[in-house]
Amino acid sequence: MEIAKSYNPKEAEENHYRIWETRGCFAPEINENPNAEKYSIVIPPPNVTGSLHMGHALQHTIMDTLTRWKRMQGFRTLFLVGVDHAGISTQLMVTRQLKKDENKTPQDLGREEFVRRVWDWKNKYGDTITNQIRREGLSVDWSRERFTMEESLSIAVREVFVRLYEEGWIYRGTRIVNWCPRDKTVLSDLEVKEDKKKDGKLYFLQYPIKNSDAKITVATTRPETMLGDTAVAVNPNDERYKDLIGATIELPLTNREISIISDEYVESEFGTGAVKITPAHDPNDYEIGERHNLEKLVVMNDDATMNQAAGADFEGLDRYKARELVVERFEQLGLLEKIEDYEVVLPVCERCKTVIEPLLSEQWFCKMDEMRDMALNLMRDENSPRFFPEIPHRKVYTTWLENLKDWTISRQLWWGHQIPAWYDEAGNVFVARTAEEAFEQAGTSDLIQDSDVLDTWFSSALWSFSTLGWNGVVTETEDLKTFHPTDVLVTGRDIIFLWVSRMVMTALKFVGEKPFNDVIIHGTVLDKNGQRMSKTKNNGIDPLDVFEKFGVDATRMTLAGSATGVDFAWRDEKVESFRNFANKIWNATRFCLLNSDGAQVDYSFLNPKAEARDIIQTLKGELSEIDEEDEEFLDKIDPTFAKDNPKENLSLADKWIISRLNKTAFAVNNALETYQFHEAVQLLYHFFWDDFCDWYIELVKDEITSEEPNVRRDAARSRILTIIEQSLRLLHPFMPFLTEELWQKLPGVSSELHNPAYKSAEKTIMLSDYPRGDSSLIDEKAESEMQAVIDLISKVRNIRAEMNIKPSEKIPVFVAADSDAQKIFLENEAQILKLARAERLNLAESLDVPKASAKAVIAGAEIAVPLEGLIDFDKERERLENQLNKLNVEGERLEKQLSNTNFVERAPQEKVQELRERVAEIETQSKTLKQNLGALM
RNA sequence: GCCGACUUAGCUCAGUGGUAGAGCACUCGCUUCACACGCGAGUUGUCACAAGUUCAAAUCUUGUAGUCGGCACCA
């Protein structure tokens, strides 16, 4: 068999995905067991404009690992994929391209044509992200791919809107909103981010009081808004201004008069204690305005230029130009008291970073009270959804819900779900599922539909059930019944509010059940300096580059190997080490394959009885009854070989690796159950590299590479192939491509290794049965005996290295041990000689060696290597003293602990016993070391 | 202002009452018939600081310092 000397990820990545996909391995229908439990995950839909970044790669790896793992366990799995229409982002992107290619604006095209262009764009470029998802190896069901703007999901959106409207939760109203003057749309609070400006200014403006020489000074960061002032407010208890309350101000630069009012909102300590009130351009001022019945004077246009109401001098000026001019005029009038440097935090548009202008505007809002309570009750009564990690997300989620305000759901965009509301000439509103319905309500077809669309997150909120067929018209589908609620949602903490909470609320309201059981909040992938990756900093790392350089599997291992929920700095070195790991797996398998003549994967070589029993158990568990075909299946796996090769024929190394394998399988399953991916990765890494490669392969190498075909050799070859096969299965959810590539090469693999739920599928590791670990194969005795052999070999190697003995030089090894230990060493003599590069092994009750020997102690045995002419006595003394020191430090601490009567009385007895045994062991070993040291003097 | 997280080897990070761990880096030695993306042997720590609880604290509690995050406010 020809196998490359190192792993080439590209080949495997190109080969297998298409096969998996075309054979339908990703779809739940591949599962033939009618009673199989389901497992479902919906992907957080990436933006249709998007391309893959590290955050996606992390999130996707977690979801795919879980899905592949559960699928291998026989669950009917659905990993649902889809993309989001991403209103603002997409509209911006297409607008930009339109400008570039045709020098046109959306307005030039008109709404209908523009939306058509967006669809064209979506059809042309929208598959970038889905192709990248394929590249990552995600086992998503493409036959159920969804898009938030497709018809069925749009029906769902309209249905939900209409129902909420009919129940009075959705309403239209005039409020101060977050306005992006560039995108010319309103934004929800969650779409507004903060930008700290250190060079901000605080302007102190003097307003003259009518019929008086007195002036009142107000401080503001936005002088231009003074053109819309309709009052000045002071605190009612502020002695300085008490007499001025009710006075009239002649507002400079305007010919308006406004009055001084008192309101508790004003903090006397801040600024001058007097606040200019601009109800139409500030949310707090708006509320004060409502309380005092003030006029709401709008002085700005929707592009943040000043309007006619701002006065002829200012009309048409940009807000910042107007600001300069206002300040200039105040200075000319001698009314500019001072300008202070002031650090301001500016609200900016999440998408385009333009400074948000609070603006009075009529919009659609959704009152969240009822749904909020449903979500809070779910958390209170059932601790659902369960957050991983629970701290701090549970509390953050709950607190946010408790303080939830109305949601601004309309957007002044063209790309999105147009609001299903129609107006007649008189301005009466008709909310309906369709235009026809609205016409019917109105008794006329002379209606105009609301030109706004809904917030992108409105449709995302329905994702868990709209993707499974719910659209209000159809409320029960097979998929919905089977896969909803989903099992786990995997996402970043930035969209807990935007998305997670809203999914919970809408699912409870419209489906009557929670959308998911668990929520995994993963960390943020930072750059190597611990900074957030961002386009402006240009410090992003493109996952596709990493795939190219190190392979998809290595990247997945790196991502999965990060602790759940914790941010981590990206390091290429980490991926490199997993690239090396992939190569290690490749080469270990390569070695076994190069020595596989006469052998094949066969579980009867490991433990025939346990395996047969397990399969029967599994079948009984999965199938309602065992029919004739199943009986045949069982007959086929009846291990004839086992009759002549009972388990007792297994060597110590075999029993040891089988035990380690099963322990690892147990622990990996455990780790995955609790979403401790890094733990699972560590376990697999060290089992495979340390236990399997460094020890097992080396221990059985001679037997396996023997030239002469014989039963023993072939059995050993079959065993190692079988252990490899099992290891590949354990690794598959993390490293799908490499494991499939290698698994297909193993002689003896077939669909019979599949989980029983996939009996008739063509052979693939992704449908093989995930090893759960078999407790009857865990052998503590074998593990401790093997440990003694390993310790012995390591000590001899240590002596060789410290004494600079050439690798080519064979040495005799003397070991003093009791008869039980001697027996173990004798049985493994060949391996000890080989791995310690020894010429012979002398076993006895006590040592009888020349003075010129290097010595070491292990639990239950003393080791000596005679080194006439080679020994460096100073170095040997140092070696022994080092060992002795370590033991002494430990011994002293333990002695101290044992001499503490409180400890002996109060600590658990087995703990005390453990310590006593350890102290005894230390004493024995240090006694020996001291004797050896003395002999050197 | 409110809430929270983090601080462990040179670097990046696991561990969460009972002998301090990994990867990388570093030192020494190896063309040992799977792998130099490798093999073997090493070195490296007041587990931020202080007090408390406990027989026992890196781990629990409180406080301090530094770093970072979320929310609110920001005239």
pLDDT score of A405: 87
Residue bearing tokens 């001019």: A325
Residue A311: is it exposed, middle or buried by C-beta count within 10 angstroms (0-12/13-18/19+)? middle
- pLDDT of residue A623 exceeding 50, the answer is no
Taking the C1' atom of B70, which residue's CA lies nearest?
A: A396
- Compute the distance between CA of residue A705 and CA of residue A715 in angstroms, rounded to an integer: 12
pLDDT score of A729: 96
Nucleotide nearest to A922 (CA to C1'): B19
- Span CA (A400) to C1' (B63), Å: 29
Strand B close to A339 by CB, under 7 A: no
Nearest to A11 by CA among A685, A637, A551: A551
Question: Distance of CA A484 to CAs A142, A466, A503, Å?
Answer: 18, 11, 12
Q: Reduced to 3 states, what is the DSSP secondary structure of residue A756?
A: helix
Share of chain A above pLDDT 70, in %: 95
- Span CA (A135) to C1' (B11), Å: 31
Nearest-5° angle of CA A338, CA A340, CA A343?
Answer: 155
State chain A's mean pLDDT as an integer. 88
Taking the C1' atom of B2, which residue's CA lies nearest?
A: A399
Strand B close to A591 by CB, under 7 A: yes
CB atoms within 10 A of CB A834: 14
Nucleotide nearest to A911 (CA to C1'): B18
- Span CA (A84) to C1' (B11), Å: 40
- Compute the distance between CA of residue A10 and CA of residue A226 in angstroms, rounded to an integer: 64
- pLDDT of residue A724 exceeding 50, the answer is yes
Q: Torsion angle, CA of A443/A448/A452/A457, rounded to 10 degrees?
A: 30
- Compute the distance between CA of residue A525 and CA of residue A531 in angstroms, rounded to an integer: 9
Mean pLDDT calculated for residue range A446-463: 94
Instruction: Band the pLDDT of A124: cuts 50, 70, 90.
Output: confident
Nucleotide nearest to A587 (CA to C1'): B34
pLDDT score of A618: 44
A409 contacts A462 by C-beta, under 8 angstroms: no
- Span CA (A565) to C1' (B69), Å: 13
Strand B close to A694 by CB, under 7 A: yes
Higher pLDDT, A484 or A538: A484
pLDDT score of A642: 41
Cis ω on the peptide bond leading into residue A485 (within 30° of 0)? yes
Q: How far is CA A481 from the centre of its chain?
A: 27
Strand B close to A872 by CB, under 7 A: no
Q: Reduced to 3 states, what is the DSSP secondary structure of residue A256?
A: coil
Strand B close to A857 by CB, under 7 A: no
pLDDT score of A576: 93
Q: Which of residues 247-286 of A touch strand B (CB under 7 A)?
A: 266-267, 270-271, 273-276, 282-284
- pLDDT of residue A634 exceeding 80, the answer is no
Nucleotide nearest to A577 (CA to C1'): B23
- Span CA (A732) to C1' (B37), Å: 20
> In this structure, what token pair is assigned to residue A85?
């229409």
pLDDT score of A198: 66
- Span CA (A891) to C1' (B55), Å: 18
Residue bearing tokens 């308006």: A256
Nucleotide nearest to A905 (CA to C1'): B55
Strand B close to A920 by CB, under 7 A: no
CB atoms within 10 A of CB A929: 23
Nucleotide nearest to A834 (CA to C1'): B32
Handedness of CA A800, A804, A806, A807 (dihedral sign): positive
Nucleotide nearest to A6 (CA to C1'): B35
- pLDDT of residue A742 exceeding 90, the answer is yes
Strand B close to A217 by CB, under 7 A: no
Those residues whose C-beta lies under 8 Å from the C-beta of residue A86, and which sit 6 or more positions away, are A47, A48, A49, A50, A456
A58 contacts A522 by C-beta, under 8 angstroms: yes
- Span CA (A616) to C1' (B38), Å: 43
- pLDDT of residue A715 exceeding 60, the answer is yes
Instruction: Band the pLDDT of A626: cuts 50, 70, 90.
Output: very low
Give the type of residue at A131: N
> In this structure, what token pair is assigned to residue A570?
């990206």
Those residues whose C-beta lies under 8 Å from the C-beta of residue A90, and which sit 6 or more positions away, are A47, A48, A49, A118, A121, A122, A415
Nucleotide nearest to A678 (CA to C1'): B14
Mean pLDDT calculated for residue range A859-880: 81
Q: Which of A385-389, A718-722, A755-759, A909-913 bottoms out in mean pLDDT, i.e. has the lowest?
A: A909-913
Give the type of residue at A874: D
- Compute the distance between CA of residue A819 and CA of residue A842 in angstroms, rounded to an integer: 13
Strand B close to A573 by CB, under 7 A: yes
pLDDT score of A649: 63
Instruction: Band the pLDDT of A96: cuts 50, 70, 90.
Output: confident
- pLDDT of residue A1 exceeding 80, the answer is no
CA atoms within 13 A on the CB side of A515: 31
- Span CA (A696) to C1' (B15), Å: 27
Nucleotide nearest to A582 (CA to C1'): B37
- Span CA (A857) to C1' (B58), Å: 31
pLDDT score of A628: 52
A200 contacts A342 by C-beta, under 8 angstroms: yes
Nearest to A329 by CA among A202, A223, A212, A209: A223
Q: Using N-to-C axis directions, what is the helix angle for A543-550 and A54-72, rounded to 10°?
A: 60
A275 contacts A294 by C-beta, under 8 angstroms: no
pLDDT score of A928: 82
Strand B close to A679 by CB, under 7 A: yes
Instruction: Band the pLDDT of A112: cuts 50, 70, 90.
Output: very high
pLDDT score of A635: 45
Nucleotide nearest to A702 (CA to C1'): B33
Tell me phi and psi for residue A747, to 5 degrees. Answer: -70, 135
A524 contacts A553 by C-beta, under 8 angstroms: no
> In this structure, what token pair is assigned to residue A107?
């307005």
pLDDT score of A480: 94
Question: Distance of CA A461 to CAs A8, A291, A594, A862, Å?
Answer: 42, 35, 54, 69
pLDDT score of A134: 95
Strand B close to A697 by CB, under 7 A: yes
Residue bearing tokens 């005679």: A866
- pLDDT of residue A122 exceeding 70, the answer is yes
Residue bearing tokens 């819900």: A401
**DSSP codes joined into one string, A13-63:** HHHHHHHHHHTTTTSGGG---TTPPEEEEE--PPBTT----HHHHHHHHHH
Strand B close to A5 by CB, under 7 A: yes
| Residue A845 DSSP one-character state | S
Q: How far is CA A43 from the centre of its chain?
A: 12
Per-position b or e across A391-413, b if 16+ CB within 10 A of its CB? eebbeebbeebeebebbbbbbbb
Strand B close to A240 by CB, under 7 A: no
Tell me phi and psi for residue A870, to 5 degrees. Answer: -105, -20
Taking the C1' atom of B72, which residue's CA lies nearest?
A: A403
Instruction: Band the pLDDT of A638: cuts 50, 70, 90.
Output: very low
Nucleotide nearest to A693 (CA to C1'): B34
A261 contacts A274 by C-beta, under 8 angstroms: no
A863 contacts A847 by C-beta, under 8 angstroms: no
Those residues whose C-beta lies under 8 Å from the C-beta of residue A855, and which sit 6 or more positions away, are A862, A863, A864, A865, A876, A880, A928, A929, A932
Nearest to A364 by CA among A175, A214, A228, A643: A175
> In this structure, what token pair is assigned to residue A647?
């388990």
Q: Which of residues 77-136 of A touch strand B (CB under 7 A)?
A: none
Strand B nucleotides below 7 A of a protein CB?
Answer: 3-5, 12-15, 18-19, 22-24, 28-43, 54-56, 69-75
Nucleotide nearest to A235 (CA to C1'): B75
> In this structure, what token pair is assigned to residue A295?
């006029």
pLDDT digits (tens, 9 = 90+) for A159-202: 999 999 999 999 999 888 889 988 888 888 888 888 777 678 88
Instruction: Band the pLDDT of A895: cuts 50, 70, 90.
Output: confident
CA atoms within 13 A on the CB side of A198: 0
A521 contacts A388 by C-beta, under 8 angstroms: yes
- Span CA (A808) to C1' (B31), Å: 13
Q: Which of residues 478-537 of A touch strand B (CB under 7 A)?
A: 497, 526, 530, 532
Instruction: Band the pLDDT of A428: cuts 50, 70, 90.
Output: very high
Q: How far is CA A373 from the centre of its chain?
A: 28
> In this structure, what token pair is assigned to residue A746?
């193993």
Nearest to A550 by CA among A738, A373, A682: A738
- pLDDT of residue A236 exceeding 70, the answer is yes
Those residues whose C-beta lies under 8 Å from the C-beta of residue A21, and which sit 6 or more positions away, are A134, A142
- Span CA (A88) to C1' (B33), Å: 63
- Compute the distance between CA of residue A439 and CA of residue A428 in angstroms, rounded to an integer: 12
Mean pLDDT calculated for residue range A443-462: 93
Q: Which of residues 762-781 of A touch strand B (CB under 7 A)?
A: none
Mean pLDDT calculated for residue range A797-820: 90
- pLDDT of residue A527 exceeding 90, the answer is no
- Compute the distance between CA of residue A23 and CA of residue A27 in angstroms, rounded to an integer: 9
- Span CA (A187) to C1' (B69), Å: 23
Taking the C1' atom of B55, which residue's CA lies nearest?
A: A903
Instruction: Band the pLDDT of A622: cuts 50, 70, 90.
Output: very low
Q: Using N-to-C axis directions, what is the helix angle for A552-560 and A677-686, rounded to 10°?
A: 120
pLDDT digits (tens, 9 = 90+) for A11-30: 889 889 999 999 999 999 99
